Structure 1
């Protein structure tokens, strides 16, 4: 599809190659930033093992966020399979989504620092709440993405039914609500419980990364 091709009453449309390439590059950079924070701890001779164990929270935060970024990438890949073209509006929504991705290393390090031996219970509550809020905010651009596709069905790939796309809007709504509940649990009840809730949410998004399927994709109804 050429860059100059337009649809009546819509923005100019183009292929999704540039969106895919740019997005994958951002995901790769974020994953790299997470790894950079893994450093050899300072230690005296003979105390390497204890120094490594003291950084257990850093390793846990890394694995948590690596899994989270990986799951988001899987979800993003699945969404791009639904479309055959993009527009300026959809590109802006995609940039909004990527903004949430590049922020992840910050709450990750806050979480790791708070759960270190020097962290207090109050610090851990704040860290879990911050991470949960960052994750909840990630649901908003997904909701906008599916809403945009619902309003512009001409962008959908062949064989993707509009009702299927509409059904996917349930996932970001559920995700936003559950992440907020998780943050509340971490703040008011227990930061460890909140951390476990975040892990459960990542598993939920991984299991539904291919979308909510009510049967197989259906061909569009005949006009």
Structure 2
């Protein structure tokens, strides 16, 4: 059966995938640095004798923001690891898309610090701003992942041997879900209550963690088989 039109390389295509070793090494280095930078916002509190426990409780917002972002970056690293298993080599375009992914990663410590500060001493309005900032940063993070899957879908010659068109197509829904729902949680945190938006962000991080190996292609196969009937 001939391949679908969108799965065929354009005529005259001169894609020559290169090794992914440097891309992997550079990316892992960025992830390692960023996840380490998060701990810089944690500090030993000043306290009087017998008041250490209370002083540590005052640092709970910073610890909470640290844990959320540590898990988030860890999930992103797992997703990135799975991402690179889909390709058999890299190209100039993939290198730029990967830089877009890393850009989203390196900005995470800033909204993390803002969120920790707002949780510790900000009012409801300040917390709204912090939650919206974090949600927008997460939505921004999802965008280059979508570009990657669209690019890979249009260039089947770059896919690893075990990767089919359905698998790539199914993964496009994950960043789309991220863009839409992170944006929605930010809006919810602004117009409703900021802690609701923050809970939504945590749920989305869990979702991307549970689907770090990708979304099953079975639902797509069922839909396609149903259409044929």
Matches of 2:199 and 2:162 in 1, distance apart? 38
Residues 156-196 of structure 1: per-residue CA shift (max 9 Å, x gap): 11121022101211111111100011001111101111111
CA contact (8 A) 2:152 2:168 kept: yes
Matches of 1:94 and 1:136 in 2, distance apart? 16
Which of 181, 184, 189 is the aligned partner of 1:181?
Answer: 184
Q: What is the TM-score with the length of structure 2 in the denominator?
A: 0.88
Q: Does 1:193 align with 2:199?
A: no
Q: Does 1:64 align with 2:68?
A: yes
Which of 31, 36, 46 is the aligned partner of 1:32?
Answer: 36
Aligned equivalent of 2:106: 102
* 5+ long unaligned stretches in structure 1: 1-6, 216-223
Matches of 1:94 and 1:40 in 2, distance apart? 36
Deviation at 1:66, TM superposition (A): 0.5
Deviation at 1:119, TM superposition (A): 1.1
* 5+ long unaligned stretches in structure 2: 1-10, 219-229
Deviation at 1:97, TM superposition (A): 0.4
Aligned equivalent of 1:137: 140
Aligned equivalent of 2:50: 46
Aligned equivalent of 2:123: 120
Q: What is the TM-score with the length of structure 1 in the denominator?
A: 0.90
Deviates more, 1:198-207 or 1:8-17: 8-17
Would you tell me which structure has more helix in proportion to its own residues? 2
Deviation at 1:9, TM superposition (A): 1.9
Deviation at 1:155, TM superposition (A): 1.1
Deviation at 1:8, TM superposition (A): 5.3
Per the alignment, in what secondary structure is the counterpart of residue 9 of structure 1? coil
Q: Does 1:210 align with 2:188?
A: no
> How many residues of Structure 1 are paired with residues of Structure 2 in the alignment?
209
Matches of 2:133 and 2:187 in 1, distance apart? 11
CA contact (8 A) 2:166 2:217 kept: no
Matches of 1:90 and 1:195 in 2, distance apart? 32
Aligned equivalent of 2:171: 168
